[in-house]
Amino acid sequence: MSVRKAIELGQFSHGGWYAKSQARDQSALRLRIREIAHARPRFGYQRIHVMLRREGWKVNRKRVYRWYRFEGLQIRMRVRRRKHMSLHRGPVPQARRTHERWSMDFVHDQLFGGRAFRVLTIVDQFSRQTPLLEPRFSFGGRDVVAALDRAIERTGTPVSITIDHGTEFTSKVLEEWAYRRGVKLDFIHPGKPTENGLIESFNGRLRDECLNVMQFESIEDAIEKTEAWRIDYNDQRPHSSLGHLTPNEYAQKRQEKRTSEPAVL
């Protein structure tokens, strides 16, 4: 479509089409809004606006509100009247190395005799590796912490873990563990499982390729079979989003690439 035709359909002037934006760079303001929101998790945009004005920023409240919404800093927490020591606000940064950022969730299934059990699943957001699958009849906050400690012994401590608002993940025990370990807890918004899409996709794969095709006679049998599937998934199963490499192959290839790149002085 020609420019003339586009202007006619859009019903605006030629000058408006070719005009260049005269808006000032707002990157410094956006950065400061994020810094205040992260330092003071319970501050809304109005209080952030007041603090900016006190610091000398000549900015109106509407602009602060637009950037506050654009950065995704608004958060609604189910756990009321309790401080989160390790809470991260805003969109989760993209992982740039293996075991930097994890996603964690639960999958439900049942034994051959009908008794229900749950599987704690963890996935690395960069390499798609799964450091842990742990079936149990029930989970509490201490059980989740113990499982995370075992996973960390294999891989090292992640920077953050993306989770939902399940009672096991909002427990004080997990909060205290994250604070001591220096791990940030990235809570998705309630009712938005797509914000943790990697773990949702992995859980579907686990159910389709393992839970739905195997019979489990006991919880010990479930532990043995899910662990065998986890090892096969990491070592043998090609992943389309990784260029048809296995998670372990992809992690190793990226590590070799980083070590071969010359240092930037």
State the Cα–Cα distance between residues 127 and 239, nearest whole angstrom. 10
Looking at residue 44, its pLDDT comes to: 82
Question: What is the SS3 assignment for the chain?
Answer: CCHHHHHHHHCCCHHHHHCCCCCCCCHHHHHHHHHHHHHCCCCCHHHHHHHHHHCCCCCCHHHHHHHHHHCCCCCCCCCCCCCCCCECCCCCCCCCCCCCEEEEEEEEEECCCCCEEEEEEEEECCCCCCCEEEEECCCCHHHHHHHHHHHHHHHCCCCEEEECCCCCCCCHHHHHHHHHHCCEEEECCCCCHHHHHHHHHHHHHHHHHHHCCCCCCCHHHHHHHHHHHHHHHHHCCCEHHHCCECHHHHHHHHHHHHHHCCCCC
Answer whether 65's CB lies under 8 Å from 54's CB: no
State the Cα–Cα distance between residues 102 and 104, nearest whole angstrom. 7
State the Cα–Cα distance between residues 175 and 159, nearest whole angstrom. 14
Looking at residue 92, its pLDDT comes to: 64
State the Cα–Cα distance between residues 107 and 122, nearest whole angstrom. 11
Looking at residue 131, its pLDDT comes to: 93
Residues of the chain with pLDDT under 70: 21, 23, 74-93, 258-265
State the sign of the Cα–Cα–Cα–Cα dihedral 125, 80, 66, 191: positive
Looking at residue 36, its pLDDT comes to: 85
Looking at residue 265, its pLDDT comes to: 43
Nearest to 12 by CA among 3, 22, 21: 3
pTM for this entry: 0.66
Looking at residue 47, its pLDDT comes to: 83
pLDDT, tens digit, 9 for 90 and up, residues 6-15:
878 877 777 7
Structure tokens at 142: 């201490």
Looking at residue 203, its pLDDT comes to: 93
Looking at residue 152, its pLDDT comes to: 93
Q: Which amino acid is at 158?
A: P
CB atoms within 10 A of CB 41: 15
Mean pLDDT of the residues in the chain: 84
pLDDT, tens digit, 9 for 90 and up, residues 102-136:
999 999 999 999 999 999 999 999 999 999 999 99
